[in-house]
Structure 1
Amino acid sequence: MSAEIRDLLDRVYETWNAGDAAAYARLFTEDADYITYFGATMKGRQAIEEGHRKLFTMPIKLESRGEPAIRTLGDGVALIIATGGSTVDGAPDPGRDSILTYTAVRTPEGWRFASFQNTRVSQP
């Protein structure tokens, strides 16, 4: 399970950095709950795709920051807490580092995210 979830996380970065809103949205369940670091919410795969289509035209790329913590909550359900950041126009911006919380579920399509929340890391 861990390897499959890590692969799903890798695809988050791959699809985002490729600017592929449809492929990015397919990583989520049809009824996923998605909360951005601005506090905006999106409900469902279609809203996630539409919400990222314009965003992906901007020069923002994602980077992983360390190993994610993956905890099994039950059969076919896992909690993932990861850290990540982004670059704007190729320059790292530590002020944009985030803690990313996902709930992954096993579906007929394979592992998908049923929920996501992006919270900015507090700067001391």
Structure 2
Amino acid sequence: MPADSALTRDAVVTLYTRVLEAWNSRDAAAFAAQFATHGGTVGFDGSEMDGRDAIESELGRIFADHTPATYVARVREVRPLGPGAMLLRAVAGMVPPGQTAIMPERNAIQSVVAVLENGEPRITMYQNTPARFDGRPHLGEQLTDELSAVHRSGRIVDAD
């Protein structure tokens, strides 16, 4: 992508898809490569990783120690924040290894801020927030049903 290219919805959805594909493949280097040099992430448990190198190192350790559940997601919104920055909001679910169903307790709301770095779309912030819906179990059930439909479709990310 040339340095003067605008950040597009399709580019941001592709970036998000690549980061989830890398997670699902347990490829720490490919996951981290989607981030800006000084990009950061806040995990489902509140842990923070700052910088592409730290992200790769920590995920490499995690992936070496165990096989995490795989993601499926539905993009809810992609919109510009200003020149050269876009926000992607999505809902995500996880399927444990050897299982076929979404784990409702791992459903999440994900936010990604994407920027252009050296003319390429990169993530500057990726935040995972548990979708617990305290006191509103029907919302959790609806989200699990929605994410289960994405999973059954065979897609990792539904952005339609």
Structure-2-length-normalised TM-score: 0.72
Q: Specify the alignment match of 1:27 in structure 2.
A: 34
SS at match of 1:89: coil
Q: Specify the alignment match of 2:124 in structure 1.
A: 114
Task: Identify, as 1 or 2, the structure richer in helix.
Answer: 2
* Unpaired runs of at least 5, structure 1: none
How many residue pairs get matched? Answer: 124
* Unpaired runs of at least 5, structure 2: 1-7, 138-160
- The higher radius of gyration belongs to 2
* Amino acid paired to 2:109: I
* Amino acid paired to 1:39: G
1:80 equivalent in alignment to 2:80: no
Which consecutive aligned stretches of 4+ in structure 1 deviate over 6 angstroms post-superposition? Answer: none
RMSD of Structure 2 on Structure 1 (CA): 1.5
Counterpart-to-counterpart distance in 1, 2:43 and 2:75:
21
Is this contact kept in 2: 1:62–1:84, CA < 8 A?
Answer: no
Q: How does 1:27-46 map to 2 (within 5 A)?
A: 27-46=34-53
Counterpart-to-counterpart distance in 2, 1:52 and 1:120:
19
Structure-1-length-normalised TM-score: 0.91
Counterpart-to-counterpart distance in 2, 1:16 and 1:27:
11
